[in-house]
């Protein structure tokens, strides 16, 4: 009897991970009614990651009142697993771009303060391990807002307290850590960071990411100057050089703040998720893994969910099939090691029709039937 693990990312804009899984299982059981099916919702550290981990690990949700990127009160939630010992936080729920209208986007003004409040709330609940996804930020404050919520104080040359936001970075003259939360001394933080951009410079946080957060050319230069200056202040403060650190530029410099001030470990999102899900344990006893996402192309092999799953399954010599809403074939994909890569859609189907949830579900179901026949 076959044991098959289904581990799909969402088909963004169309189906959630759970919807893809259910539709595929329905088709698979048409031809393999007696197979054993294991199911796990997947994500790669971005939106939906906390949902995937909490549901798979049978966790629960906590909610806190925090401040959004423009310091307005909102309610945001985060996950609790391991009997409440570990918090699973998506910074975008408190400091994300989707919380702002297009005309509100301004990385000189936005702050990660709310993300710090979520961290502080989790520490007050007794969490001593934090898993934090930092995709989708609206900010370029180098984490100063987050750190301010945790008790760090950033002062100008006259000793005045600065608000943690992008326009304050070039004014920072000193850092006071005498009032930080004592729980930070014993907390273990792992951060999902899928970019390798440095803190500042042409490939840094401001030049690469700030324009999509509302920055014009003048703002980008101001923000990069602020990041350069703050990097020097950090080095004077604790001898950590974040300026060229891979991943330090993630989420407007938030990656650098986590590393330099909170001793966090930065890792790729899919690795972070697989570890949190105890994926190696889920693989034991499986004969086949089926994974997938909305689009499969050369970027899939650069740390996306299907490739991370392929690597984990290959370590246990388990074949992996990938399915996708669309497949952009390239040599790298053909040589990647997938047992098969299957498109769910007909070749000339218009994208707008293919992405309709009811259409996508039916096509995923049919692909499940096809896979069942392949291995029957």
36-39 and 288-296 as β-strands: parallel, antiparallel, unpaired? unpaired
> Considering just the CA atoms, what is the radius of gyration of the chain in Å?
22
Nearest to 81, CA basis, from 106, 113, 59, 61: 59
pLDDT digits (tens, 9 = 90+) for 218-270: 999 999 999 999 999 999 999 999 999 999 999 999 999 999 999 999 998 88
Residue-wise burial string across 82-101, b where 16 or more C-beta atoms lie within 10 A, e elsewhere: eeeebbbbbbbbbbbbebbe
The answer to whether 121 touches 93, Cβ cutoff 8 Å, is: no
Sequential DSSP letters for 13-60: TTB-HHHHHHHHHHHHHHH-TT-EEEE-----SSTTHHHHHHHHTT-E
Is the Cα dihedral 231, 232, 236, 240 positive or negative? positive
Mean pLDDT of 326-336: 87
Asked whether the predicted pLDDT for residue 95 surpasses 90, the reply is yes
Residue 128 in this model has a pLDDT that exceeds 90: yes
The whole-number pLDDT of residue 330 equals: 85
Q: Is the pLDDT of residue 44 over 90?
A: no
Spatial separation of the C-alpha atoms in residues 346 and 353, rounded to whole Å: 11
pLDDT value, residue 349: 87
Q: Nearest Cα to 135, choosing from 106, 165, 113, 115?
A: 115
Q: Catalogue the E-assigned strands of the chain.
A: 3-8, 36-39, 60-67, 73-81, 86-90, 129-133, 153-155, 174-176, 188-192, 265-267, 288-296, 320-327, 340-343
Q: Over 80: is that where the pLDDT of 373 sits?
A: yes
In the chain, where does the domain assigned CATH 3.90.1510.10 lie?
49-270
% of residues, the chain, pLDDT over 90: 80
φ, ψ dihedrals at 281, nearest 5°: -70, -40
**Is 302's pLDDT higher than 80?**
no
pLDDT digits (tens, 9 = 90+) for 161-179: 999 999 999 999 999 999 9
pTM for this prediction: 0.85
Looking at the chain, the whole-number percentage of residues with pLDDT higher than 70 is 100
Question: Of 99, 172, 180, nearest to 141 (Cα)?
Answer: 172
pLDDT at 87 over 70: yes
Which residue spans of the chain are classified as CATH 3.40.50.10350?
3-42+286-375
Mark out the alpha helices in 125-181 (DSSP H runs).
Answer: 144-149
Q: Is the pLDDT of residue 1 over 70?
A: no
Distance, CA of 89 to CA of 96 (rounded, Å): 12
Q: Regarding predicted confidence, which is higher, 25 or 55?
A: 25
The beta-strand segments (E) located in 146-222 are 153-155, 174-176, 188-192
Choose among 252, 284, 306, 297: nearest CA to 105.
252
pLDDT, tens only, 10-41: 888 899 899 999 999 999 999 999 999 999 99
pLDDT the model gives residue 130? 97
143-162 pLDDT tens trace? 999 999 999 999 999 999 99
Q: What is the mean pLDDT of residues 206-219?
A: 97
Residue with the bigger pLDDT between 99 and 334: it is 99
pLDDT number for residue 263: 96
What topology is assigned to 3-42+286-375 in CATH?
Rossmann fold (3.40.50)
**What average pLDDT does this structure show over 289-309?**
89
Q: Any idea which fold 49-270 has? A: Glycerate kinase, domain 2 (3.90.1510)
DSSP 304: -
Q: How far apart are the first and last CA of the chain?
A: 10
């Amino acid at each position: 009897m076959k044991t098959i693990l289904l581990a799909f990312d969402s088909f963004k804009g169309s189906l959630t991970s759970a919807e893809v899984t259910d539709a595929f299982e329905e088709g698979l059981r048409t031809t393999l009614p007696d197979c054993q099916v294991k199911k796990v919702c997947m994500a790669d550290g971005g939106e939906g990651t906390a949902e995937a981990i909490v549901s798979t690990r049978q966790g629960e949700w906590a909610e806190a009142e925090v401040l959004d990127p423009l310091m307005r009160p909102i309610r945001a939630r985060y996950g609790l697993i391991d009997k409440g010992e570990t918090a699973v936080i998506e910074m975008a729920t408190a400091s994300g771009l989707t919380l702002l209208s297009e005309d509100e986007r301004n990385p000189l003004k936005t702050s990660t303060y709310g993300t710090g409040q979520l961290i502080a709330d989790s520490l007050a609940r007794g969490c001593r391990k934090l898993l934090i996804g930092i995709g989708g930020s609206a900010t370029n404050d180098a984490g100063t807002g987050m750190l301010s919520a945790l008790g760090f104080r950033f002062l100008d040359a006259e000793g005045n307290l600065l608000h943690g936001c992008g326009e304050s970075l070039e004014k920072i003259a000193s850092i006071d850590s005498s009032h930080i939360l004592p729980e930070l001394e014993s907390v273990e933080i792992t951060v999902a960071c899928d970019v390798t951009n440095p803190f500042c410079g042409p490939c840094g946080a401001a030049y690469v990411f700030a324009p999509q957060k509302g920055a014009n050319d003048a703002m980008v230069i101001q923000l990069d100057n602020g990041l350069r200056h703050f990097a020097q202040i950090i080095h004077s403060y604790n001898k950590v050089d974040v300026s060229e650190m891979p991943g330090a530029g993630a989420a407007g410099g938030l990656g650098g703040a986590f590393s330099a001030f909170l001793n966090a470990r930065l890792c790729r999102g899919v690795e972070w998720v697989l570890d949190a899900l105890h994926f190696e344990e889920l693989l034991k006893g499986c004969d086949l893994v089926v994974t997938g996402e909305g689009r499969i192309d050369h970027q899939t092999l650069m740390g996306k969910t299907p490739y991370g799953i392929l690597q984990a399954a290959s370590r246990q010599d388990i074949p992996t099939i990938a399915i996708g809403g669309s497949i952009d074939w390239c040599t790298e994909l053909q040589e990647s090691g997938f047992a098969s890569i299957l498109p769910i859609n007909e070749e000339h189907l218009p994208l707008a029709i293919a992405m309709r949830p009811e259409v996508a579900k039916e096509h995923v179901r049919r692909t499940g039937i096809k896979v069942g026949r392949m291995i029957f």
